Structure 1
Amino acid sequence: MARFRRKLDRPLLWVQERARLWARRRQGVDSDPTTLNRRRTYILPTGLGCGFGFVLFAMLLASMNYNSSMGFGLTFLLTGLGLVAMHWCHQNLTGLTIRGYRVRPAFAGQPLVLEMIVENPSRGPRYELVLQWDNRIAEPVDLAAGESATVGIEVPTERRGRIQVRGVRISTRFPFSLFTCWTWLHPELSGVVYPAPAAIGAPPPPDSTDVGGAQDDSRGEDDFAGLRSFRPGDSPRHIAWKAAAKGDELPVKQFAGTDVTTHWLDWSALEGQDNEARLSRLCRWIIDAHSEGHAYGLRLPDEEFPPAIGRRHRHRCLAALADFPATVPRRG
């Protein structure tokens, strides 16, 4: 039964993909923010709406056959109700503002989350707004007048790399589900899928670790080196309060004059393992070094990142692992 249903869905999926590509050529890449105007919103009757129209046509024929004024009145009343529903459905989507496109990085095997902020700048409420990306549908959103909401869509991942955001669909069937009104969003955006980290195991080999605290002591505590996560025992005066106000955790200022252990995480130190196993082990070392507040550098066959600390450095290193070519021959 499932196989038969997939065969029936293929023509529909093909039509939807052709329509999405046509809309992309017509609209181009969407900026941030994006306002949904009438030119880019489309509306068609649903299956329920087609059935409703067929019933109205049958009622009209019966009223004409029996010359029933009450039949005509009921038919025209329901027809007017359907027209109002069509107008209301279209207005429910038109005028919305979409901004703050963002894709949260994820590790392979974990869901990649696409987030965006949906704003309702009008004086009336909006109901049953549904966002869809890559056949994944978010929970319907209702917005009061002047309200905004952050909507997230989770997409499962299996392997590392980059995922392009192609055609986010926002739609509504409010009211009565007689019509569906939709549009496509085409932000210039991609998501990063880091390699799946290896299980907690051996630390980096000794020859890839350099303790650089003593040579830096002479520079004093005035040389700011970056931010790291808060650990029990850290001085409150070293907390970066401005940065803390923007996130959920407390970042702590790291200075060059403090005793910092520097790790070099080297691709060649993992001799005898295949490429994916090396990437997973390097990913684990990066996570551990970041959580412990150690400065670390990363050496890959064709790229090198000097030792540093902080979230940005962590992301750069993990993104380099995500973008690492799959066909690079084994070295070392």
Structure 2
Amino acid sequence: MRWLRQRLSSRWQRWIDARIPAARQHSLNLKSIFIFPSIFGWGYLVMCVCLFLLGTNYQNNLMLFLCYFLAALMLVNLFTSYQNMAALKITSDPIKPVFAGQPATLVLEVASQNTKHPDINGLLNAHWLAESGVVHTDLDDGQWQLRLPYFTEQRGIVSLPRVTVFSNYPLGLFKCWSHLDFDQTLVIYPKLIPAPVRLESVSGEGDAQTEQTGYDDFYSLRKYELGEPLQRVAWKHVAKGGDWVSKAFSQQQSESGYLCLADGKNIETALSQLAYQIDNLTDKAVQFGLRLPDKVVPPASGAEHRHVCLSLLAVYPDEDRMPR
């Protein structure tokens, strides 16, 4: 039975990949839309059949007229439901990397394919394929955006599953849906674990840290120089009759130092502590490099450098899986 389920799942996956290929933007059409009566719709259909049987058996024209009217209304609902769904164009924004344990958010922008007459209505719902958590947006209120959370547990790079979007507009008799693959890859950084920052010098000997003028921690008092900002003046010292002096602050500044993977620790703990150090140094605009057993990133700073370093930690030790 397990083998049969896997075989059917594999065949369905190949069929859906061929029918609705992966893309960052999907314009829904006859090929990508599925429609079927809802539970309420099946009950409605059974009622129409019962009315027909009763009307025929008792030769009651009024009952037959009601049956035909309700059946026609169901057919109109069928075409209206499809046309409303086929007017949608759904685009995904690039998903941002997150740390393990934090939820990522896939943002879907909904628009009308007909820009001159953007007539789309109803409640549009979405959830990850094979999951039950549903988010929705009311197209009648002009809220044409879906924010779908994706919960992460461990570091790595994952291809996001398909997203099921569906609507029961207008009367709930039919469920109109599609399974869309937005070709999105999520980078999950290691979980952050606080640790002291340890930088090795370029030569690999000792720590590469110096004290330079900054704004982080109080360092010492020095003679006030004309033109310095008044907020740096040590007013308490001046009030006691002392000379004018300025507060000097310090911050640790690396001299082309490298962060290295700690030995003798659990690999996941070591990667998480290294991720914390990378995040901490980036916030302080400190230049640093990253040295792993099979990879060296030269010293730099900024958001792009942070992403490169954290992505290496996300896929370690398989650096070949680095996102392009």
Same fold (TM > 0.5) = yes
Q: Which residue of 2 is the match for residue 79 of structure 1?
A: 71
Which region of structure 1 is more displaced relative to structure 2, 86-95 or 136-145? Answer: 136-145
Mapped pair 1:266 → 2:260: yes
The residue correspondences of 1:22-61 to structure 2 (distance < 5 A) are 22-30=15-23, 32-61=24-53
Q: Distance in 2 between matches of 1:288 and 1:209?
A: 17
Q: Quote how far apart the aligned CAs of 1:143 are.
A: 2.5
**Counterparts in 2 of 1:236-247, with a 5 A limit?**
none
Instruction: State the shift of 1:18 in Å.
Output: 5.8
Structure 2 unmatched runs, 5+:
213-230, 232-252, 319-324
What corresponds to 1:149 in structure 2? 144
After superposition, the C-alpha distances for 1:211-247 in whole angstroms (9 at most, x for unaligned) are: 5999xxxxxxxxxxxxxxxxxx9xxxxxxxxxxxxxx
One-letter code aligned to 1:108:
A
User: Residues 67 and 191 from structure 1, CA distance in 2 versus in 1: closer, same or farther, beyond 3 angstroms?
Assistant: same
Equivalence for 1:246: none
TM-score, scaled to structure 2: 0.74
Superposition misfits of 4+ residues, deviation over 6 angstroms: 11-17
**Counterpart residue number, 1:306:** 298
Contact persistence 1:212–1:260 (CA under 8 A):
yes
Aligned length: 268
Change (3 A) 1:129 1:21: farther
| 1:90-144 deviation per Cα after TM superposition (whole angstroms, max 9, x unaligned) | 1121021122442221111111222221112432132111122141544221225
Q: Give 1:185 shift.
A: 1.4
CA-CA distance at 1:20 after TM superposition: 5.2
Task: Give the partner amino acid of 1:157.
Answer: T
Q: Are the aligned partners of 1:138 and 1:152 in contact in 2 as well (CA < 8 Å)?
A: no
| Inter-partner Cα distance in structure 2 for 1:280 and 1:91 | 50
Please report the RMSD computed on the Cα atoms of aligned residues, expressed in angstroms. 2.9
Quote the residue 2:196 is aligned against.
202
**Percent identical:** 27
The answer to whether the 8 Å contact 1:208/1:263 transfers is: no
CA 136–299 in structure 1, closer or farther in 2 if over 3 Å, else same: farther
* Contact 2:123 2:169 survives alignment (8 Å): yes
1:95 counterpart letter in structure 2: A
One-letter code of the match for 2:152? T
What is the distance in 2 between the residues matched to 1:15 and 1:139? 29
Counting helix residues as a fraction of each chain, which structure ranks higher?
Answer: 1
Counterpart for residue 105 of structure 1: 97
For the 8 Å contact 1:167–1:185, the answer to whether it is kept is yes
Q: Which amino acid aligns with 1:93?
A: M
Q: How big is the shift at 1:313?
A: 1.0
SS in 1 for 2:304: helix
Code of the aligned partner of 1:272: G
The runs of 5 or more residues in structure 1 that have no matched partner are 1-10, 215-232, 234-258, 327-332
Residues 78 and 103 of structure 1: is their aligned pair in 2 closer, same or farther, counting only changes over 3 Å? same
1:188 and 1:60 map into 2 onto residues whose CA distance is 49
Q: Separation in 2 of the partners of 1:82 and 1:311?
A: 55
Output the CA distance in 2 between the equivalents of 1:155 and 1:13.
Answer: 25
1:176 aligned partner? 171
Q: What's the TM-score once normalised by structure 1's chain length?
A: 0.73
Indicate the residue corresponding to 1:218 in structure 2. none
Over residues 282-321 of structure 1, what are the superposed CA-to-partner deviations in whole Å (9 max), with x where a residue is unaligned? Answer: 0010010011111111111111111111111111111111
Aligned match of 2:250: none
Please give the per-residue CA displacement for 1:221-275, whole angstroms capped at 9, x wherever unaligned: xxxxxxxxxxxx9xxxxxxxxxxxxxxxxxxxxxxxxx765441111xx121021
| 1:174-225 C-alpha deviation (Å, 9 max, x unpaired) | 1222111111212322101111010x332215656435999xxxxxxxxxxx
Q: Quick one: structure 1 residues 139 and 187, their matched pair in 2 at CA, closer, same or farther if it must change by over 3 Å?
A: closer
SS, match of residue 171 in structure 2: coil
Q: How has the CA–CA distance of structure 1 residues 209 and 131 changed in structure 2, closer, same or farther, with 3 Å as cutoff?
A: farther
